[in-house]
Chain A
Amino acid sequence: MGLLSQQFDNSNIVITSVEGVLNWARLCSLWQMSFGLACCAIEMMAASASHYDIMRFGVLPRPSPRQCDVMIVAGTVTLKMATRVKRLYEQMAEPRYVVSMGSCSNCGGPYWEHGYHVLKGVDRVIPVDVYVPGCPPRPEALLEGWMRLQEKVRDFTLVKDSSKQTTEKQVA
């Protein structure tokens, strides 16, 4: 920084990496696919409403998977729905992320033993970035999950992590 230091008249300047700007821009405008599967969707809607206001994180619900960055799987994924969830995920443009919300979509929830019609975890058909526990999770829990996802986006880099032997499985 020797060349540039003390060369500007005012302090209205930010220095960062391209990667940092891109990640920052993306994590502040993660658009959400607006669909819900069960009671978790009610909490998801509560998180969107004025009290919790998830829109302050730059979340916009979009009606088409092609305009979305994040799919919140909010509710019980039945086997009938699982094929649709998979297809919707495939229609999203990369980079894309999945938040699994609630016990049902994490692991089958109360249907884990006798739910002949329930997929025991949405991660059996699509890769999941963040799991939000709860039955259903409160809106705060979803916000926490959302901030975890933002951390994940913030740390995204093209540079190899030399400290790790095996590269982390990149969700793409």
Chain B
Amino acid sequence: MAAEALTPEAVFNQLNDTFSDYELTYDENVPCIIVPANAIRDVAMQLRDAEEYAFDYLMSLSGVDNGDETLGVVYHLYSFTYKNQLTLKVIVPKEDPKLKSVARIWLTADWHEREAYDLVGMTFEGHPDHRRILMPYDWEGHPLRKDYEVPEFYNGMKVPY
């Protein structure tokens, strides 16, 4: 076991060596690692299982509409071994918002990914139960997108005031 928790930058540098095929970037303004959509599962696996990281706990997974024709997913990780925290981000284009699911890696992600899909509308490939979680199954659209417009009616019920 390493004596001290790694800084986000140190984690990034090590990951960058491990995953030289993927283009990882580091955002030093808000210390986080930006991971390509197709790399997130491999990176997540490494962060959870490698002894020097041991991020065994996904604190939160949030969907974001960045407002610039991209959607984002933010992962907040925690390591009980090192009491260390790390933030990952995935940015996907709005017209084709697909990324790999981490629900098999951290079970917490199961419902969180469903929520992100439900409200922001990105697709998590490989999710075991990919469907809406809050809105009714026959709801159209994803309400937390910036360009979302409230429907006039839902099942014959008027929606606006």
Contact = CB atoms under 8 A, between A and B. Distances in A.
A119 B150 CA distance: 12
A112 B157 contact: no
Nearest to B136: A80
A124 B158 CA distance: 8
B158 A117 contact: no
B161 A125 contact: no
Interface of A is mostly: loop
Contacts of B136: 79-80
Interface of B is mostly: loop
Please classify how large the interface on chain A is, using the bins under 10, 10 to 19, 20 to 34, 35 or more: 10 to 19
A108 B143 contact: no
A116 B159 contact: yes
Interface of A: 79-80, 82-83, 107-108, 112-113, 116-117, 119-120, 124-125
Given A80-B135, A119-B157, A120-B160, 5 more contacts: A79-B136, A107-B161, A116-B143, A116-B150, A120-B161
Interface of B: 134-136, 143, 148, 150-151, 154-155, 157-161
25 contacts: A79-B136, A79-B154, A79-B155, A79-B157, A79-B159, A80-B135, A80-B136, A82-B157, A83-B155, A107-B161, A112-B161, A113-B161, A116-B148, A116-B150, A116-B159, A117-B135, A117-B143, A119-B157, A120-B158, A120-B159, A120-B160, A120-B161, A124-B157, A124-B158, A125-B157
